[in-house]
Amino acid sequence: MANSSLATQSQVETTTFDELESNVQSYARSFPVVFNTAEGAYLFDENGNRYIDFLAGAGSLNYGHNNAHLRSRLIEYISNCGITHSLDMHTTAKEAFLTTFNDNILAPRGLEYVVQFTGPTGTNAVEAALKLARNIKQRHNIIAFTNGFHGVSIGAMAATGNSHHRGAAGLPLTGVTHMPFCNYFGDELDTIAYLERMLDDPSSGIDHPAAAIVETVQGEGGLNVATPRWLRALERVCRKHDMLLIVDDIQAGCGRTGTFFSFEPSGIKPDIVTLSKSLSGYGIPFAVTIFRPDLDCWKPGEHNGTFRGNNHAFVTATAALERYWGNRDFETEIADKARLIGDALAAIAKDYPDDVIAPRGRGIMQGLTCHSGRLARDIVRRCFRAGLVIETSGSEDEVVKCLPPLVTPNDTLNAALDILGESTRAAIAAYKPD
Amino acid sequence: MANSSLATQSQVETTTFDELESNVQSYARSFPVVFNTAEGAYLFDENGNRYIDFLAGAGSLNYGHNNAHLRSRLIEYISNCGITHSLDMHTTAKEAFLTTFNDNILAPRGLEYVVQFTGPTGTNAVEAALKLARNIKQRHNIIAFTNGFHGVSIGAMAATGNSHHRGAAGLPLTGVTHMPFCNYFGDELDTIAYLERMLDDPSSGIDHPAAAIVETVQGEGGLNVATPRWLRALERVCRKHDMLLIVDDIQAGCGRTGTFFSFEPSGIKPDIVTLSKSLSGYGIPFAVTIFRPDLDCWKPGEHNGTFRGNNHAFVTATAALERYWGNRDFETEIADKARLIGDALAAIAKDYPDDVIAPRGRGIMQGLTCHSGRLARDIVRRCFRAGLVIETSGSEDEVVKCLPPLVTPNDTLNAALDILGESTRAAIAAYKPD
Amino acid sequence: MANSSLATQSQVETTTFDELESNVQSYARSFPVVFNTAEGAYLFDENGNRYIDFLAGAGSLNYGHNNAHLRSRLIEYISNCGITHSLDMHTTAKEAFLTTFNDNILAPRGLEYVVQFTGPTGTNAVEAALKLARNIKQRHNIIAFTNGFHGVSIGAMAATGNSHHRGAAGLPLTGVTHMPFCNYFGDELDTIAYLERMLDDPSSGIDHPAAAIVETVQGEGGLNVATPRWLRALERVCRKHDMLLIVDDIQAGCGRTGTFFSFEPSGIKPDIVTLSKSLSGYGIPFAVTIFRPDLDCWKPGEHNGTFRGNNHAFVTATAALERYWGNRDFETEIADKARLIGDALAAIAKDYPDDVIAPRGRGIMQGLTCHSGRLARDIVRRCFRAGLVIETSGSEDEVVKCLPPLVTPNDTLNAALDILGESTRAAIAAYKPD
Amino acid sequence: MANSSLATQSQVETTTFDELESNVQSYARSFPVVFNTAEGAYLFDENGNRYIDFLAGAGSLNYGHNNAHLRSRLIEYISNCGITHSLDMHTTAKEAFLTTFNDNILAPRGLEYVVQFTGPTGTNAVEAALKLARNIKQRHNIIAFTNGFHGVSIGAMAATGNSHHRGAAGLPLTGVTHMPFCNYFGDELDTIAYLERMLDDPSSGIDHPAAAIVETVQGEGGLNVATPRWLRALERVCRKHDMLLIVDDIQAGCGRTGTFFSFEPSGIKPDIVTLSKSLSGYGIPFAVTIFRPDLDCWKPGEHNGTFRGNNHAFVTATAALERYWGNRDFETEIADKARLIGDALAAIAKDYPDDVIAPRGRGIMQGLTCHSGRLARDIVRRCFRAGLVIETSGSEDEVVKCLPPLVTPNDTLNAALDILGESTRAAIAAYKPD
């Protein structure tokens, strides 16, 4: 397991990174070791130290690191010289993915969508979604929500709330109006009623939007959960005002909240959905934008990108869909683990006032919101020293976010939650509010 | 080899794609078969038909499909549970890449750059480059060039000339002034002198730019070549006007034009360079933005992205750098093949007037500019029927573009060029100008 | 007085306008006669019909049409060949205006401002204010409020809420975030607390604003009144977030609400104030942007305009300041008339439920908010037939707006309010809600 | 006449302006006296010093200061309580203007236009023109030209080339592509052929424009003259590419170049024309945007403004049109005076190399382009000391611009040109190039 000499080691070991990599690196600062191998819920550094991974590629490793089932399929594909890079040409691997995605995901849920293979990053899927919506409706404005995170390319970043990222744009971000998310202003304000008032009023200054884009649980934004009722109200407002509803399911989708799509419990039917992160299932870059067939107004190649035919991802994604989504068992497993995590977080928090520490989130996307970013950062620092990789989120980094692989065994979950509990108590004990 | 019943087959075989994939697909329309495996310069469809690949992932497969040297390293890495997805954390695989990139590429060329791992797509690397330039100079304007292609996310697309892509933006693209590329207006206009006049004149309406972004050979734009002299003049204007010089080497870099960086023959020293496409060497998504260390003003995580730590790409990229770029032999090989291709294209063109068909390009990024897009499209259609995958580029699709893997054996090159020659002659014979 | 044959007459008389003037004309449609002369609160058409003017140049004629005191000074100035047009050069007339404005307005109110003579339109004064704020703070974002109206040139229109005007922009309006005005969402929402929450939250998506621009009473927006308490809270938020506070006093200023500046009762000290409309006092184009001397970061001529030295306006403005603002008597008069109007409106409304008709406004900027724009338009139509020129405002044209000259004698006010009362009752009687 | 003690006097006299007026003042710095009265081509300061006015309100006083014919009509109108301010309602004075404008200007020239009364400033007329063009064509891009000046409100400023003004915008100016004006790049470049190449090329990066906006003689830009042939070529390109042609005739129109519209000699028929400056004839704020009736797609009030019904301006404008434009005599007079001025400037310049001083311009919009802004500013400084008010223009202030009233008697012109000649010779003698 990790030990206290890590800091010293890293000063020696990270010279290459210090000299040759840009200052833009960020997670590397929280975890100043050099990782080497990984399996399931575990990371191993180059000295063989083992860490439990409660970050999981920021939600990209729902099936764990190097999932054996997927790995064997990937190795087999590569060994057989399966085509790796195919632009947007037809391939056997893509066909298998499309068929499996339709059979195991779309059809059972009564969803009829076509699939656009965008460049294999979440931000690219969002760019495609926003373009499509604007072109269909011939309007430039998009509604996004406070604390939403949708990527950092200029089009997607306009919909991202975070000023740290926005400030780097270098030019004003346009085409998006930011509205309050569910419960943003506490009980005082029905935020959908407010949105509706602004849209109903022809002199509000809000240009008629082409669409609204929303995360049902805001991952980077601090595990803020949209209630099913709020989502349904949002869908109603979109219909009333002839706006498309886009769900950005890049972090919350692929089972993270308990169902394949995070919006399933609410019963809404988004017009456009973006998926990425855990879609390939193996941490391999992959992203799609899916939408109602009647919205498919793209002309050939209008939105393109070199790596939109990443067959390794098709292979592992297909394997994951077959392995985990052929029936509803996996959803039951996730629900059980989500309960385990929720109970543990509640137990940690129960000894403290709500404004010091409180549980937050949904599914296996839960955490602890802390009195301050300083407190949260101290907790994760202590966790790492005890062998747990975990990160903060939220506009002030004030939320400790548990994002383990969905397949993490219960004993590993418990071990990690123990570390989190101890670290939290120690951090609170040492904490002096400003 | 391919046969004439392909069209019929595809009608049956592509049903899945027709039903489940968006209309945005583009190359799939030119090559209506389902590809399955690939090796070196060859593609194989699901019926076992073989095609020579003169498209090579739009320049992403410089070392050929599933290059054996890289493949074994990748399989070994995966088999050993090497970490696949690592966000921007330090990993052994990343360290090896950084060291090899520095030792085999940067240091021997006297270039001192730091490496930013952006999201693994070219457009993301461009977004990062433009942001960085704007932030360093605190100015919003960027000079881009006619027929330039830099991606289709909103920030990068503003610098892209193509109206087919721009038209899909859904909102005005801002922050970029488009200036004429080398030889854009024939002999009449010294386009750098024109640019300089516009920048010198405080009332030209061109806001003082933060940077200029340029491809030394415009791949998508139609194989337009910037002369070394023009590039040096551009560099001089950038220095004079306190602008950064960004070379987008996504398509022309990684050896495509004969040297690792396409700008080497010109002697210029760009401030920022973007690389992607063939950087991983295996068709795996990968992109970096590299720049002078003193420009590294990024704050931690300011520009981020889930897949910026794609270790499979680090592994294959390192293997490619070791295999091909440890000495100058590969450059000699490329030069020889470039000559072979150039001679063949000249031979094809010599029987026709320049305005019907004429050679174009540099290195292994050459082709034939045709009287019209219609003629060029007919040539590539005939090529495909004869078993050669090749595409057009240029603002009117009027340039047939030869982008074979750099490692294609000479006899395969000759076979392909024979097909191209025959197809060209047949297409011209059948061609009736409007 | 006006008679019922007006409609018929106008069909003959307005041929010239129909043929030679653009469809953009708007008030002319409500009042289809040809006006010829005017004096005090009266308009006369070319047939000698007399109308009471409760529109008063949309608030530009606070001292009445062709005010005799001002007229004699203007004629004298013109007769003596006083310079008419002087760009921004020093003139005797400008000097007199500056001195009088300082002595009679600024100094007695403890306000220290410098005066920028912008182009002589309100929208130009707003453009100057927004530029100045953005340049001082080096930020692009500006907070404006729902239902605000600040002009229709592109810079000012971005801050205007009305979609009828915004829709004509022809390109997206940028650089402004629209926030809810005082009482915008009823009792449910403390709109300043909401604004503060959005500004405090670094991930709200609201870029740090350079300034907020606000009308204390929204004239075009429907006579919405900002309470003194709300204005003070807004000022506090601006100070806390290092934002400038701009009061657009173009319609509400120059005595319209009872004090020279509309914000005086609230005790706030805006950083920048725009004035126009009644500033010349004679209906002559004139506008200024005034601001704290330490904010005067303009370089010579940075914001210019041909008619920023309109000496006729300087002359009449000086005369008005001398005649009406040398002491506090005029403020008392306005208060008396405001009470008269308020009482009359209350009397009209008292027989109807609040959602049919209700009083609204402050000072001599009061009116009746109606159940619908259709009802309001019927009221003003009936008023015109009875000899009263009056207009609607509000996002649905649902507010009948009384904007008589401040100097209108009480008996004229009473006569007009009688017409308004009768017309209202008749319109309500004839009204069938949808 | 002016004397050498002016500087001293001004230090005393301008205290009021120093203390109470913003630093944005610009002409006041060149002419540090306080002007009081004016008549014809003469200005008088408060000490009775007389100056010949070769600035003439930057072209707003084509008929001289306080033209007696217009003055009597204006005084008569005011004395009779003619309505002063009428929003966009019909008035007798407006009807007279419309009729006279049609009878004396449009009809004789075979032009069929409708008149939009915009806010009474040039920049507002330009804003209206750009909006209209964008709405008609449903495209955001506009072509403007290097060194063009169209105003400083955000919409118009985007089309203005001058970086001094653009730099004050506070946010990026969008929606305009700046192209080279006639002879911008000397003989080397046919600038219309270049524009056409950019528009023909679907990958130039120039979005399909809604319109081009052009001055036939660039007043602020340095008296750059578009040749009739160039204008016709521009018109042809606009027709070919379905773009509207807007002539901004604000400075060059109303007779300044010898004909009422500056474009008459070229034979082009613009779709939209903006007029302001000398349109009222008396220096009173007035502006119109006129366009083909079939382009009149405005909805009522879409573009509005408080002072769009400035009846004083209607009265003086009508008087000017009657007095000067009832027949072609005035055009002959202007031509004679233009010749006188041209000959005098040629005589001044003939003793010096072209790069020291050279004549420039057309009609009574001529001047001397100097080796540098420093030389030009020294010339105008010396002129002012000798009693001549004259200014520079051009991107480096390098052009001394003669803009006397068109009605200036020949002996006054000669006296002024003598001062200019002497000042020029003295300035050149004292000039040391950098």
List pLDDT tens digits, range D284-326.
999 999 999 999 999 999 999 999 999 999 999 999 999 999 9
Interchain contact B301–C (C-beta under 8 A): no
Residues C90 and C102 sit within 8 Å (Cβ to Cβ): no
User: Residue A292 and residue A273: Cα distance in Å, rounded?
Assistant: 9
- Angle at Cα C135 formed by Cα C133 and Cα C137, nearest 5°? 70
Beta carbons of A78 and B81 less than 8 Å apart: no
- Chain position carrying tokens 């001044």: D348
User: Residue C319 and residue C69: Cα distance in Å, rounded?
Assistant: 7
Burial class (CB in 10 A: 0-12, 13-18, 19+), C149: buried
Percentage, residues of chain A above pLDDT 70: 97
Of the listed ranges B2-11, B177-186, B243-252, the one predicted with least confidence: B2-11
Say which of D175, D180, D206 has its CB closest to residue B172: D175
The structure tokens listed for A62 are 């729902």
Beta carbons of D22 and C291 less than 8 Å apart: yes
Residues B134 and B117 sit within 8 Å (Cβ to Cβ): no
| pLDDT of res. B4 | 38
Residues B104 and A80 sit within 8 Å (Cβ to Cβ): no
Residues D113 and D293 sit within 8 Å (Cβ to Cβ): yes
The structure tokens listed for C185 are 């969402």
Report the chain A residue with the minimal C-alpha distance to residue C194: A185
Question: pLDDT at residue A10 above 50?
Answer: no
Q: What residues pair up with B218 in beta bridges, in sequence order? A: B224
| pLDDT of res. D187 | 84
Say which of C26, C134, C285 has its CB closest to residue D307: C285
**What's the mean pLDDT in A119-145?**
98
C-alpha distances in angstroms, D148 versus B206, D124, D165, D173, D397? Answer: 12, 16, 12, 15, 14
Report the chain C residue with the minimal C-alpha distance to residue D139: C170
The pLDDT tens digits of the residues spanning A42-93 come to 999 999 999 999 999 999 999 999 999 999 999 999 999 999 999 999 999 9
Burial class (CB in 10 A: 0-12, 13-18, 19+), D121: buried
| pLDDT of res. A66 | 98
Report yes or no for ipTM above 0.90: yes
User: Residue A163 and residue A155: Cα distance in Å, rounded?
Assistant: 15
- Report residue D7's pLDDT band, with 50, 70 and 90 as the boundaries: very low
Distance (Å) from the alpha carbon of C172 to chain B's nearest alpha carbon: 8
Phi-psi region of C193 (alpha: psi -120 to 50; beta: other; left: phi over 0): alpha
Beta carbons of C144 and A205 less than 8 Å apart: yes
Distance (Å) from the alpha carbon of A171 to chain D's nearest alpha carbon: 8
Distance (Å) from the alpha carbon of C308 to chain B's nearest alpha carbon: 23
The structure tokens listed for A88 are 């947007």
- Report residue C67's pLDDT band, with 50, 70 and 90 as the boundaries: very high
CB pairs < 8 Å spanning A and C: 113
Residues D136 and D297 sit within 8 Å (Cβ to Cβ): yes
The pLDDT tens digits of the residues spanning B84-104 come to 999 999 999 999 999 999 999
- Among the listed residues A347, A312, C356, the one whose alpha carbon sits nearest the alpha carbon of residue B78: A312
- The DSSP symbol for A104 reads I
Percentage, residues of chain D above pLDDT 90: 95
Residues D142 and D133 sit within 8 Å (Cβ to Cβ): yes
- Angle at Cα D417 formed by Cα D411 and Cα D419, nearest 5°? 110
Q: Three-state SS across D292-316? A: CHHHCCCCCCCCCCCCCCEHHHHHH
- Range 142-171 of A in CB contact (< 8 A) with D: 171
- Report residue A12's pLDDT band, with 50, 70 and 90 as the boundaries: very low
- Range 104-143 of C in CB contact (< 8 A) with D: 114-117, 119-124, 127, 130-131, 133-135, 140
- Report residue D403's pLDDT band, with 50, 70 and 90 as the boundaries: very high
Beta carbons of D203 and B395 less than 8 Å apart: yes
User: Residue C359 and residue B36: Cα distance in Å, rounded?
Assistant: 76
Interchain contact A103–C (C-beta under 8 A): no
Residues A416 and A54 sit within 8 Å (Cβ to Cβ): yes
| pLDDT of res. B1 | 37
Helices (H), C273-404: 311-325, 329-349, 373-385
- Report residue C6's pLDDT band, with 50, 70 and 90 as the boundaries: very low
Interchain contact D295–B (C-beta under 8 A): no
Interface test with B, best of A6, A19, A90 (most B CBs within 10 A): A90
The pLDDT tens digits of the residues spanning A16-43 come to 999 999 999 999 999 999 999 999 999 9
Interface test with B, best of D204, D213, D393 (most B CBs within 10 A): D204
Interchain contact C209–D (C-beta under 8 A): no
Question: pLDDT at residue D9 above 50?
Answer: no
D71 Cβ contact list (under 8 Å, min separation 6): C78, C79, C81, D282
- Among the listed residues D52, D35, D127, D1, the one whose alpha carbon sits nearest the alpha carbon of residue D417: D52
Distance (Å) from the alpha carbon of B57 to chain D's nearest alpha carbon: 22
Helices (H), C5-118: 6-13, 15-20, 27-30, 56-59, 68-79, 92-100
- Report residue D38's pLDDT band, with 50, 70 and 90 as the boundaries: very high
Backbone angles phi, psi at A118, to 5 degrees: -90, 180
Residues of B in contact with C172 (CB under 8 A): 171-172
Question: pLDDT at residue C1 above 60?
Answer: no
- Chain position carrying tokens 């960085």: B132
Interchain contact A172–D (C-beta under 8 A): yes
Beta carbons of A298 and B99 less than 8 Å apart: no
Query: Within 13 Å, how many C-alpha atoms sit on residue D187's CB side?
Result: 0
**What's the mean pLDDT in A227-245?**
98
- Give the type of residue at B184: Y
Distance (Å) from the alpha carbon of D375 to chain B's nearest alpha carbon: 18
Residues of B in contact with D159 (CB under 8 A): 205
Residue D160 host element (H or E) = none
| pLDDT of res. D13 | 61
Question: pLDDT at residue A11 above 60?
Answer: no
Distance (Å) from the alpha carbon of A132 to chain D's nearest alpha carbon: 18
Say which of D43, D57, D155 has its CB closest to residue C306: D57
| pLDDT of res. B195 | 98
User: Residue A115 and residue B20: Cα distance in Å, rounded?
Assistant: 6
Say which of B98, B120, B171 has its CB closest to residue A174: B171
- Give the type of residue at C414: N
Domains and CATH numbers, chain A: 6-66+329-430 (3.90.1150.10), 69-324 (3.40.640.10)
Query: Within 13 Å, how many C-alpha atoms sit on residue D128's CB side?
Result: 36
- Range 24-83 of C in CB contact (< 8 A) with D: 24-29, 31-39, 43, 46, 55, 57-61, 65-66, 71, 74-75, 78-83
Interface test with A, best of C183, C200, C204, C206 (most A CBs within 10 A): C204
- The DSSP symbol for A221 reads T
Residues of C in contact with D124 (CB under 8 A): 119, 121, 123-124, 153
Residues of C in contact with A140 (CB under 8 A): 172
Pairing of strands C244-248, C211-214: parallel
Report the chain D residue with the minimal C-alpha distance to residue B144: D205
Interface test with D, best of C47, C304, C315, C321 (most D CBs within 10 A): C304
Report the chain A residue with the minimal C-alpha distance to residue B166: A302
End-to-end CA distance of chain A: 34
Beta carbons of B21 and A312 less than 8 Å apart: no
| pLDDT of res. A352 | 97
Interchain contact D372–B (C-beta under 8 A): no
**What's the mean pLDDT in C252-257?**
98
Beta carbons of D204 and B172 less than 8 Å apart: no
| pLDDT of res. B13 | 61
User: Residue C403 and residue C31: Cα distance in Å, rounded?
Assistant: 16
C-alpha distances in angstroms, B205 versus B80, B198, D145, D149, D163? Answer: 59, 8, 8, 10, 7
Distance (Å) from the alpha carbon of B119 to chain C's nearest alpha carbon: 22
Say which of A35, A120, A301 has its CB closest to residue B307: A120
Question: pLDDT at residue C2 above 60?
Answer: no
Q: What residues pair up with B310 in beta bridges, in sequence order? A: B85
Beta carbons of B299 and A168 less than 8 Å apart: yes
The structure tokens listed for C97 are 């205006």
Interchain contact B282–A (C-beta under 8 A): yes
| pLDDT of res. C188 | 82
Handedness of CA A330, A331, A334, A335 (dihedral sign): negative
Helices (H) and strands (E) in chain C, counts: 15, 17
Name which residue leads in pLDDT, A2 or C119. C119
The chain-wide mean pLDDT, for chain B, equals: 95
Say which of D140, D145, D194 has its CB closest to residue B185: D194
Interface test with D, best of B194, B203, B372 (most D CBs within 10 A): B203
Residue B75 host element (H or E) = helix B68-79
Total length of chain A: 434
Pairing of strands C388-389, D35-39: unpaired
**What's the mean pLDDT in C259-284?**
98
Percentage, residues of chain C above pLDDT 70: 97
- Report residue B433's pLDDT band, with 50, 70 and 90 as the boundaries: confident
DSSP codes of every residue in A370-429 = ES-HHHHHHHHHHHHHTTEE-EEESTTS-EEEE---TT--HHHHHHHHHHHHHHHHHHHH
Residues of B in contact with C171 (CB under 8 A): 172
Query: Within 13 Å, how many C-alpha atoms sit on residue B309's CB side?
Result: 30
pTM: 0.96
- Report residue A188's pLDDT band, with 50, 70 and 90 as the boundaries: confident
The pLDDT tens digits of the residues spanning B287-312 come to 999 999 999 999 999 999 999 999 99
- Among the listed residues D220, D219, D210, the one whose alpha carbon sits nearest the alpha carbon of residue D241: D210
Chains near A with 3+ CB pairs less than 8 A apart are B, C, D
The structure tokens listed for A414 are 């418990």
Beta carbons of D203 and B163 less than 8 Å apart: yes
Interchain contact B221–D (C-beta under 8 A): yes
The pLDDT tens digits of the residues spanning A328-360 come to 999 999 999 999 999 999 999 999 999 999 999
The structure tokens listed for A110 are 């009564």
End-to-end CA distance of chain D: 34
Interchain contact A23–B (C-beta under 8 A): yes
- Among the listed residues C276, C106, C269, C243, the one whose alpha carbon sits nearest the alpha carbon of residue C177: C243
Backbone angles phi, psi at A328, to 5 degrees: -95, 5
The pLDDT tens digits of the residues spanning D134-178 come to 999 999 999 999 999 999 999 999 999 999 999 999 999 999 999
Of the listed ranges B11-20, C412-421, D142-151, D357-366, the one predicted with least confidence: B11-20
C224 Cβ contact list (under 8 Å, min separation 6): C147, C181, C182, C183, C217, C218, C360
C-alpha distances in angstroms, A385 versus A1, A3, A6, A30, D317? Answer: 9, 7, 8, 11, 83
- Among the listed residues C61, C54, C36, C106, the one whose alpha carbon sits nearest the alpha carbon of residue C280: C61
- Chain position carrying tokens 């126009």: C276
